[in-house]
Amino acid sequence: MAPRVLVSDALSEAAVQIFKDRGIDVDFQPKLGKDKEKLLEIIGQYDGLAIRSATKATEKLIEAATNLKVIGRAGIGVDNVDIPAASRRGIIVMNTPFGNSITTAEHAISLMLAVARQIPAADASTQAGKWEKSKFMGVEITGKTLGVIGAGNIGSIVCNRALGLKMNVIAYDPFLSQDRAEKMGVTKVELDELLAKADFITLHVPMTDKTRGILNAEALAKTKKGVRIINCARGGLVDEAALAEAIKSGHVAGAGFDVFETEPATESPLFGLENVVCTPHLGASTTEAQENVALQVADQMSDYLLKGAVSNAINMPSISADEAPRLKPVIKLAEVLGGFAGQVTESPIKQVEVLYDGIFADMNTTALTSAMLAGLLRPVVADVNMVSAPIMVKDKGIILQEAKRDKSGVYDGYIKLTITTEKQTRSVAGTVFSDGKPRFIQIKGINMDADVGRHMIYIANTDVPGMIGFMGSTLGDAGVNIANFQLGRDNQGGDAIALLYVDEEPKQEVLDKLLAHPAIKQAKPLEFAVE
């Protein structure tokens, strides 16, 4: 059955056609995003949701979207999507960060020019029959210094355009290297230096805890007298009340704003001030940009639903269309290894080491490690996913180490996970054979070759005679059928392990009977999400 996608906002019909051409069952209802109740009623029918800004993917909607696998936002901003709620449900959230970059950059330049020459106020005055030539004395931008906060995708385009206008460009961006700055033709500076030197300041950063209020009252006080502020990025990056006071005092000469702390912005401290130019979030509003982002989101969502490829995802590592088919079974292996360690480990984890050997070392290990960590934490945090897992591990103070090496054994490649707790260090390794199914190849340094089943029992014991018979009879007496049985030992009379693949989850009373044997140290029920 073909995946179903709902388009609930006014996307280009060319984008709708892309879904159809790719074999996706698409339902184009461009006005549905504004009908919350109707959308809530039908969302459970769809695998994908393609939106612009009108549709609000709230926690309530996401909870009702029982089959939803991906939300695609045609545009950059995902403020209308509850990303934590989507992540908890395992729903990928994609945006299109490049489709409207040029359009947004051009709007920033347009606002800068409009503020420099007071064009909107002069237009209104002239069309009102006034001829106030002396009132609207502007400033040139040639030779002026433009301070760019955020020199990423959009910011770099703004830099390029400003250089073409013969401006001096300085940029503040913690991730901007000196080499990259030189190639762009800009001067890399710290924020305080930018504030002190810039005649114009434009912002091109995402909204994060670190960037919220980056131009607050304190920062504005450090700016050069007569500076002009442009914000086409995100409302809340600039403290609007503080900026309004700075404009009223004459310290800031003007501002051009396309985004606001509250949108739709029906009121703002900036409204009504002289030489403040405001637009209703038009940064991405050109025919070309709207078409580009719509086509891009349709392609991205189709690639994911049909191939498992992940691009421009907010809450998951990217997986290219080429690598997705071969990576999928390895991601499952990583989840299984993490899940095994998480289920058998009984004391707090201090360190996690992951070794990628052979063919697995050349794969997308970021995605693999994220999947493994999700499996590791899932026994105690049910809603963890590939996005939240690395963050949780870091927050818990767990040390994560990753290593890669060339083929070193009989297998073309394998993954080995080593967990260090306050009490001990334990490892588990596995690989994927040609059938695409994960297999355990080593546990606690003991070699084996074990299928992975939905329900399993892990037994750690001392190597003594009669153990196989005891395990078999105990489970048999309880009506538990064994599908597969693998065991191994480090040496005669030493540590031994058994891994049993059973048809159903064993009851606690069965496990208690196993543990009653003096040689059995641990008997753990395991569950894996495998077919």
Q: Are residues 70 and 93 in the same domain?
A: yes
pLDDT at 531: 62
- pLDDT > 90? residue 215: yes
Query: What is the rounded distance in angstroms from the CA atom of residue 328 to the CA atom of residue 307?
Result: 10
Active site residue 107: no
412, 443, 474 — which closes off a domain?
A: 443
pLDDT at 313: 83
- pLDDT > 70? residue 382: no
CATH of the domain at 372: 3.30.1330.90
Dump pLDDT digits (tens) for 410-426: 888 999 999 998 888 98
Strand order in the sheet with 425-432: 399-405, 349-358, 413-421, 425-432, 438-443, 446-451
| Number of domain units in the chain | 4
**For residue 505, is it within any domain?**
yes
443, 461, 490 — which closes off a domain?
A: 443
Q: Are residues 177 and 132 in the same domain?
A: yes
**For residue 350, is it within any domain?**
yes
Please classify residue 209 by burial: count the beta carbons closer than 10 Å to its beta carbon, then call 0-12 exposed, 13-18 middle and 19+ buried.
exposed
Q: Are residues 439 and 486 in the same domain?
A: no
Average pLDDT, the chain: 91
Cβ–Cβ < 8 Å for 375, 334: yes
pLDDT at 310: 86
pLDDT at 128: 95
Q: Are residues 243 and 347 in the same domain?
A: no
Extract long-range pairs of 493-496: CB within 8 Å, 24+ residues apart: 493/462, 493/463, 493/464, 494/462, 494/463, 495/444, 495/446, 495/460, 495/461, 495/462, 495/463, 496/446, 496/460, 496/461, 496/462, 496/463, 496/467
Q: Are residues 328 and 385 in the same domain?
A: yes
Task: Name the amino acid, one letter, at 318.
Answer: S
- pLDDT > 80? residue 392: no
CATH of the domain at 219: 3.40.50.720
3-state SS assignment for residue 154: helix
Alpha carbon of residue 235 to chain centroid? 21
- Give first-to-last CA distance, the chain, whole Å: 19
**For residue 164, is it within any domain?**
yes
> Regarding beta strands 187-188 and 200-203, do their DSSP bridges make them parallel or antiparallel, or are they unpaired?
unpaired
Active site residue 263: yes
Residue 337 φ/ψ, nearest 5 degrees: -60, -45
Q: Are residues 334 and 296 in the same domain?
A: no
Cβ–Cβ < 8 Å for 451, 436: no
Query: What is the rounded distance in angstroms from the CA atom of residue 203 to the CA atom of residue 154?
Result: 10
Q: Which domain holds residue 203?
A: 101-278
Cα angle vertex 175, ends 321, 208, to 5°?
85
Query: What is the rounded distance in angstroms from the CA atom of residue 159 to the CA atom of residue 101?
Result: 13
Query: What is the rounded distance in angstroms from the CA atom of residue 340 to the CA atom of residue 443?
Result: 10
Q: Are residues 344 and 483 in the same domain?
A: no
**For residue 448, is it within any domain?**
no
Dump pLDDT digits (tens) for 78-126: 889 998 888 778 789 998 877 788 999 999 999 999 999 999 999 999 9
Least confident of 59-73, 176-190, 385-399: 385-399
pTM over 0.85: no
When comparing pLDDT for 391 and 452, which is higher?
452
Q: Give me the DSSP letters along 43-98.
A: GGG-SEEEE-SSS-B-HHHHHH-TT--EEEESSS--TTB-HHHHHHTT-EEE--SS
User: Out of 13, 41, 59, 263, which one is annotated catalytic?
Assistant: 263
Q: Give me the DSSP letters along 382-425.
A: TT--TTHHHHHHHHTT-EEEEEEE---SSSSEEEEEEEEESS-E
Q: Are residues 392 and 466 in the same domain?
A: no
Dump pLDDT digits (tens) for 477-529: 999 999 889 888 888 888 899 999 999 889 999 999 999 999 999 999 999 88
Query: CB within 8 A of 349, min separation 6: which ones?
Result: 376, 396, 398, 419, 420, 421
When comparing pLDDT for 321 and 408, which is higher?
408
User: Out of 88, 107, 281, 378, which one is annotated catalytic?
Assistant: 281
**For residue 312, is it within any domain?**
no
pLDDT at 203: 97
Q: How many residues does the chain have?
A: 531
Q: What is the mean pLDDT of residues 395-407?
A: 88
**For residue 23, is it within any domain?**
yes
Q: Are residues 141 and 267 in the same domain?
A: yes
Q: In 118-254, where does DSSP find H-type helix? A: 119-127, 153-164, 178-184, 191-197, 217-221, 240-248
Please classify residue 165 by burial: count the beta carbons closer than 10 Å to its beta carbon, then call 0-12 exposed, 13-18 middle and 19+ buried.
middle
Cα dihedral across residues 416, 527, 347, 365: positive or negative: positive
Dump pLDDT digits (tens) for 34-50: 899 999 999 999 999 99
Q: Are residues 292 and 172 in the same domain?
A: no
**For residue 42, is it within any domain?**
yes
Q: Are residues 78 and 18 in the same domain?
A: yes
**For residue 29, is it within any domain?**
yes
Q: Which two tokens stand for residue 341?
A: 């360690």
Query: What is the rounded distance in angstroms from the CA atom of residue 150 to the CA atom of residue 131?
Result: 40
Percent of the chain whose predicted confidence (pLDDT) is above 90: 66
User: pLDDT confidence of 387, banded at 50, 70, 90?
Assistant: low
User: Out of 204, 234, 426, 439, which one is annotated catalytic?
Assistant: 234
Dump pLDDT digits (tens) for 231-289: 999 999 999 999 999 999 999 999 999 999 998 899 999 999 989 999 999 988 888 88
Site of tokens 């001392």 = 462
pLDDT at 114: 97
Query: What is the rounded distance in angstroms from the CA atom of residue 443 to the CA atom of residue 497?
Result: 8
The helix or strand, by DSSP H or E, that contains position 275, with its residue range, turns out to be none
Q: What is the mean pLDDT of residues 159-166?
A: 97
Active site residue 261: no
- pLDDT > 80? residue 385: no
Q: Are residues 243 and 294 in the same domain?
A: no
